Amino acid sequence: MDQTSDHSNVFGGGVRLATIAAIAAYTAVFFGTATIFQIEDDNPLTNAAFDATPLLGASLLAAHLAALGALVVLVAGAGRSCASMLRENRGLRGRAAALVFAALIAAVVAFGLVVLYARLGGSIIAGLAGWPRMLSLFVAVAAFVAGVLAIGRKIVRGVYAAQQQDRKSDSVLDFGVGAVLAMLANVAAAIIHTVTLRSGSPELFADSIDHATITGYKLASGFYFSELVVANVVAGAFTIVAAVVVARAVVKLRTD
């Protein structure tokens, strides 16, 4: 089996585009979740708002766990792809590409964990869960990841012909579907959090309002916008596009 066919076995049938769409969507989801922490972490209004409206803490924790779950699913899918490429590519170029891909994924994971835990959200997550209960959070993430992967596998296997299980692309799509499900959960939780924040704590929500000025020839205009709302819209749009692309790739497997 040559180098090109091995590569297409892993990323064939529209899987390559689906993988790119899922990674792009997670980038939007990641920065959307980071935006919440950027505004609310170490904010003197946060504790009072969360005490007055428990749904704020629950929705933020759900968004955080879903973001971590999506990261784990994407990393697992990338690891699966790297392993297949390393195992089946005998050429130096193919193995080098797989190793570079693995190194990039490791760098992204390290960056994501540092931002989500060390740089942002440390005090909020500690306050919501308490460090003695962090083990239960990791168990919740593991259960969430297992659930979305199981659903993703069931969806792909339900569409994909069972007798063609020698293909590699279908197993990569298992992770793609699972990642999309996790990102949809994150976007839903983030939207609930923003809506609840707007009604339950207008003062804290006001900290997300920014003013932008557009200047041109002999004119200047300005407008106000909420960083949280913009983050929700961008993350939601990217996630919906990724869901459509992944769904088309899954359906395309039957016709290939």
pLDDT for 3-53, tens place per residue? Answer: 444 444 555 557 778 888 988 999 899 889 888 888 887 788 888 888 888
The average pLDDT across 228-247 equals: 94
pLDDT at residue 168 tops 90: no
> pTM here?
0.77
pLDDT band at 61 (very low <50, low <70, confident <90, very high): confident
CA pair distance 181, 151, nearest whole angstrom: 9
**To the nearest whole percent, how much of the chain has pLDDT over 70?**
59
DSSP string, the chain: --HHHHHHHHHTTTHHHHHHHHHHHHHHHHHHHHHHHHHHTT-TTHHHHHHH-HHHHHHHHHHHHHHHHHHHHHHHHHHHHHHHHHHH--SHHHHHHHHHHHHHHHHHHHHHHIIIIIISSHHHHHHHH-GGGHHHHHHHHHHHHHHHHHHHHHHHHHHS-GGGTT-SHHHHHHHHHHHHHHHHHHHHHHHHHHHHHHHH-HHHHHTTEEEEEEEETTEEEEEEEEHHHHHHHHHHHHHHHHHHHHHHHHHHHHH-
The average pLDDT across 49-74 equals: 86
The average pLDDT across 70-98 equals: 70
pLDDT band at 214 (very low <50, low <70, confident <90, very high): low
pLDDT at residue 134 tops 60: no
pLDDT of residue 190: 94
pLDDT at residue 127 tops 60: no
pLDDT band at 166 (very low <50, low <70, confident <90, very high): very low
pLDDT of residue 192: 95
pLDDT at residue 215 tops 70: no
CA pair distance 28, 45, nearest whole angstrom: 26
CA pair distance 16, 246, nearest whole angstrom: 10
The average pLDDT across 82-93 equals: 64
